[in-house]
A and B are shown apart, each in its own frame.
Chain A
């Protein structure tokens, strides 16, 4: 067994364990942290495959930004988990059915003979960042730009639907604050001093 294979099995074991902990721990903050751990380990496995760009972006985007906000929300929400857990038994059949369906699909994909991982080394062993850039911005530039516009529309729509200006809210306008000059605020008046006569 080569060193790389040993490392792969180590990471795979950690990944499976972390993924199991995500759904089995009671504390939601711990679950989110185990999810972070499994993302990180998945990135390490991608790195072993030579997909350095994807691995680093997985850490950067999912671990560094998405999961931070996730954790943020989980910490702030005061969800009553006992209340949620009470329905565990009644929802169990649906959960098992969905899980079995997903499992069946995965087994079918694997049995259909499609290689689960690209056999051999990636096409450009040196820098797959440049190769990905070429694919996204030259070969598939229109689908890529279309997807980007779609996402932008989704962002604008989400903000437009939820944003409302509250009448009672008071806020400053930094532009106006910067524009203020001393003479707008202070009026210097020149008053002749009172003449009390010389003693």
Chain B
């Protein structure tokens, strides 16, 4: 016990160590505040949408009471991806993609990919959230705390004393590292505690997974550091090598992989889909009306009873055309989602061997802010859209009056992100990476 106390004192004696410990705690808190702001902004938007939607329908009903088809041309319905509070820890892709969508019952494809108002500079600089602090900055702190754990002893001449006096040199080094590891864990747990209070997190399984994975990730960096200091080179050399590892793992490798994925899977399908849905709907203004309506009935045989009104403009034909925007671009849509799926799979696959990338993707997954969850939300929005269509189509075709309906039932609908937890898949890459580092160090340990 006494030994550990001395180690602790030795470790925090240095001014640089103190400064970096305080700095990372502050940055962690800043990260949590930024995450909280992100969540608050979403809640503000939701509140705006709620009040807007009520007034919106009142106005539409008063303007177009006798023309339900026209009313629904304008009417917007909100579908909200209510962010999990954990999104405050890992903002992920929830800043690029809208989390509140307001849609009409017209062609869905034309609205599906509409973006929010975003400043691209903010996107590029990325979010300074807690996940960033954990993934980028904690490893640096590991480096600062450990790079001279052995070399300072050799450089100050105490190593020989240690070598004679302690039973095992390995145990000496490990205990020295362990005390530093504990110090970082204390800070990490403190930050999670702050996060729990500020973001009002529930202590559920996903919270503990994020914490647990962070703990493992820091352990991984300790094993990297252990490997490098076991060469027993000078402090300067260790610092240089550890920082190079950091630079390669956290900046160069991900950037290189990103360039690879972007080049390998370009997405022309996105643009093709955009054109296909436009043409799918708009050319129907010039083609045979009956053919359009027939095609519409093939999709929805239940509406056949409304017949084939082909004289002049009518809403049945109009919404049949709108439907064709979605139906006729199906081939392109499928190719598009297939491409996105390919990209996602490839990224996850590559990331599983790079601990930091793996951790980022897993954090996003656990916080409900990953790419795949965004796609699921879009698909759910599609279902929501379909539900609205099926509700309103017969009413429009029958020419019902708008005020015969209860519009107050159309409150914004909430979507809850599904978080699938694959414990083994999540944890294995980090454990394997740590074990590999330890195995690599074994030949060195023998020569300590």
A, B bound: no
Q: Which chain A residues have a beta carbon within 8 Å of chain B's beta carbons? A: none
